[in-house]
Copies of this chain bind each other. A is one copy, B any other.
Amino acid sequence: MAADTFRLSFAAPAWAQTARAGQFVNIQMPQHGDLLWRRPFSVHDADSAHGTLDILFAAVGRGSRALSRCKPGDALDVLGLLGNSFTEPAEEEEVILVAGGLGVAPFMLLLRQLRHWPGKKTVFLGFRSSRQVCCAETLVQRGARIVLSSDDGSAGVRGLVTTALEDYLISRDARQKVLLYVCGPTPMLRSVRAVALQYHIPAQVTVENRMACGFGACVGCPVELAQPRPDGQKYLLACKDGPVFPLEEIVFND
């Protein structure tokens, strides 16, 4: 795997049948000690034949580092399956998946779901540098065309994934119906949102808010609506109403 990136596979036969891309699991970290919360991770892949679920994660903090030290046979306390999932394309001619870093995680399962869908599948994969690159080969095996970019140019095109995306959108035939799927860090989501609005392309995004519970109990993971609802509702919950949202309907303040 890429630097500090880990794939963890665990047995979950029932979930392996029903998991839909976009959904997530909430895992209690091993040796959690004074880490109170579980940590949420997107379902990366689900293998119904083997009855396993995969997550793909970066060791960025105490929890994920502890998780990365799990060994085969260790027991994990996993809460799932949580959240909604991506809506699959209908009459579109192309789907474009935009992933910033580990934002690629849910797309592995999405491409599995779309294996019989006849349209064109393009994945824009942006990483900081070549050391972080992962999943590219498997995504190709799953029928996608990859446009790789990196901040330092050490892998694929130099620059932000959003620049690569915009270049592509400018050059394509504007009459073709396209659907965007987006996952990545907030600044990237903000840029892609601007691009999607500009080109009038419908987009679905998965958000990664901090979560105390993951199932709607703490109301701690609000996502702000671009337009408050008539009844005054200003927020949706990332864990329960999401984590997948229509990108145009929400905003990323701060």
| Chain A interface residues (CB < 8 Å from chain B) | 31-35, 66
Q: Complex: how many Å from CA A66 to CA B32?
A: 12
Contact partners of A66 in chain B: CB under 8 A: 31
Contact partners of A31 in chain B: CB under 8 A: 31, 33, 66
Given contacts A33-B33, A33-B34, 6 further A-B contacts (CB under 8 A): A31-B31, A31-B33, A31-B66, A32-B33, A33-B35, A34-B34
| A71: min CB distance to chain B, Å | 11
Contact partners of A35 in chain B: CB under 8 A: 33
Contact partners of A33 in chain B: CB under 8 A: 31-35
Secondary structure at chain A's binding surface: helix, strand, loop or mixed? Answer: loop
Q: Complex: how many Å from CA A15 to CA B14?
A: 55
Residue from A32, A33, A66 having most chain B Cβ neighbours under 10 A = A33
Copy number in the complex reads: 2
Q: Complex: how many Å from CA A31 to CA B65?
A: 12
Contact partners of A34 in chain B: CB under 8 A: 33-34
A-B pairs with beta carbons under 8 Å apart, 8 shown: A31-B31, A31-B33, A31-B66, A32-B33, A33-B33, A33-B34, A33-B35, A34-B34
Q: Which residue of B lies closest to A33 (CB)?
A: B33
| A24: min CB distance to chain B, Å | 24
| A202: min CB distance to chain B, Å | 45
| A132: min CB distance to chain B, Å | 28
- Nearest 7 CB-CB pairs, A to B? A33-B33, A34-B34, A31-B31, A33-B34, A31-B33, A32-B33, A33-B35
Q: Complex: how many Å from CA A31 to CA B31?
A: 6
Q: Which residue of B lies closest to A35 (CB)?
A: B33
Q: Which residue of B lies closest to A62 (CB)?
A: B33
Q: Complex: how many Å from CA A34 to CA B32?
A: 9
Q: Which residue of B lies closest to A36 (CB)?
A: B34
| A29: min CB distance to chain B, Å | 10
Q: Complex: how many Å from CA A77 to CA B142?
A: 48
| A31: min CB distance to chain B, Å | 4
Q: Which residue of B lies closest to A34 (CB)?
A: B34
Q: Complex: how many Å from CA A48 to CA B43?
A: 54
| A67: min CB distance to chain B, Å | 13
Q: Which residue of B lies closest to A30 (CB)?
A: B31
| A50: min CB distance to chain B, Å | 30
Q: Which residue of B lies closest to A31 (CB)?
A: B31
Q: Which residue of B lies closest to A69 (CB)?
A: B31
| A117: min CB distance to chain B, Å | 45
